[in-house]
Structure 1
Amino acid sequence: IIAAVPPLMVQTDSNPGGLPKSVFDDLQAQLKANRAQFYQDIPAGPFYGYNRPGAKADQGVILNWWRQGMMGGAQAHYDGIVAFSQTDFTESLKKVTVPVLVMHGDDDQIVPYENSGPLSAKLLAKGTLKTYKGYPHGMPTTHADVINQDLLAFFRS
């Protein structure tokens, strides 16, 4: 599981550490107002951590993310925000019995680390948490060399 949303992103009574629903409502509003700009702003900023001091944005990566976003259906993307933010995976994670590597950057501005990676690993019967200091949500792209090596090591173990 790499920088994934489980167990639950939205704040609820049973998930007080989640993000307020207004965060996701705002994402939907941005998407609805100007889809093309939305798919430019997210990768140019928080998704890959390009908004951090000293970060060097990779225009090819940003444009590729934009291309992928614009190829999808607008309604599916709009509805997808509800799906990824409000689906509670808690009980599903408890049922997984195979070893699972949970990889998450502690500077993930899309899926906050504290309310996802450690909680998911704890819920999994055989979960192993690997935390990446300073890595963004898009770490499989920005740090592919490290992520791929760690995946291979886990698969071989």
Structure 2
Amino acid sequence: MPTFTTSDGTEIYYTDWGAGKPVVLSHGWPLSSDAWAAVAKLLADAGYRVISHDRRGHGRSTNTDLGHDMDTYARDLAELVEHLDLTELVVIGHSTGGGEVVRYAAQHGKGRVRKVVTAGAVPPVMVQSETNPEGTPIEVFDGIRAGVLADRSQFYKDLAVSFYGFNREGAKVSQGLIDDFQRQGMLAGLVAAYNCVKVFSETDFTEDLKALDVPILIAHGGDDQIVPIAAAADKAIKLVSDGTLKVYEGAPHGVAGDYQDALVADILEFIAD
């Protein structure tokens, strides 16, 4: 099982598949690198070396109560990239992972990153405020924290329904996806899952987006109920200097099914030389 140890002693688990120019995948909350498994295989089959890591406190990485802030998450990613000595790198992040790769690329990726891709990503900032009226009210995130504390096993099963859009009329419900969301969520430490809510909801990525000096593909589901597009991709695309916005009409937050197939095709087109 490949792991490396960060500068503060945290062990980070990762997978490393395929050969070719490197791609790093960062997962969303409260999941693990397993959320990217199918996409990672498809990218590896297309001729890329694909690395997926479990964020600290999540999956098979150290169940630590320390370092749950976006600067540390981005530093962990930077240290993994340096450990593997990756260059000509594409970084791809979903949801919280989208914020992670944006901050990493802006603050650590100079000379290593060639392109960035986000999907259903949290930047610029999720929480509602006077300057971000389209954002999600803080009470929603308070409710997530309460659910994690009260009965996170059931909470994750319930959350998976809107995550994958299974509450929409005509949706084909996959109990397997719901169960796997719960499985991955339960691998995250309680403190990590709880504290990461503040990280993904309140971190402001505005300056990171402005600082990006490489092309970015901003992908978002048009029916994303977790990270609504109006406060996320619609704003992020206006802040970057070299961005492409791709909206998947009717697609949910979770990357699966037809949405996954379309996203992979667009990623491969975007990252091709």
- TM-score of the aligned structures, taking structure 2 as reference length: 0.56
Quick one: distance in 2 between partners of 1:30 and 1:63? Answer: 17
Quick one: distance in 1 between partners of 2:217 and 2:151? Answer: 36
Residues 22-45 of structure 1, C-alpha deviations (whole Å, 9 max, x = no match): 1100111111111100111111x1
Which protein is bigger by CA-based radius of gyration? 2
| Correspondence for 1:153 | 269
Residues 92-143 of structure 1, C-alpha deviations (whole Å, 9 max, x = no match): 11000100000001100000011101111111110110011000001x2232
Quick one: distance in 1 between partners of 2:177 and 2:139? Answer: 28
| Correspondence for 2:196 | 80
The percentage of counterpart residues that share the same residue type is 48
| Correspondence for 1:141 | 256
| Correspondence for 1:12 | 129
* Higher fraction of strand: 2
Following TM superposition, the consecutive aligned residue runs of length 4 or more in structure 1 with deviations greater than 2 angstroms are none
Task: Indicate the SS of the match to 1:134.
Answer: coil
Over aligned residue pairs, what C-alpha RMSD do you find?
Answer: 1.0
Which amino acid in structure 1 is aligned with residue 200 of structure 2?
F
1:105 paired with 2:198, answer no
Match of 1:65 among 178, 181, 191: 181
Quick one: distance in 2 between partners of 1:79 and 1:28? Answer: 8
| Correspondence for 2:172 | 56
Residues 53-112 of structure 1, C-alpha deviations (whole Å, 9 max, x = no match): 111111111111111000110111011111000000001110001000000011000000
Match of 1:33 among 145, 150, 165: 150
Quick one: distance in 2 between partners of 1:79 and 1:141? Answer: 27
Quick one: distance in 1 between partners of 2:226 and 2:154? Answer: 17
Quick one: distance in 1 between partners of 2:169 and 2:133? Answer: 30
Which amino acid in structure 2 is aligned with residue 14 of structure 1?
T
Unaligned runs of 5+ in 1: none
Quick one: distance in 2 between partners of 1:97 and 1:26? Answer: 37
Which amino acid in structure 2 is aligned with residue 64 of structure 1?
D
* Higher fraction of helix: 1
**Alpha-carbon distance, 1:14 to partner:** 1.7
Match of 1:128 among 219, 227, 244: 244
Which amino acid in structure 2 is aligned with residue 115 of structure 1?
A
- TM-score of the aligned structures, taking structure 1 as reference length: 0.95
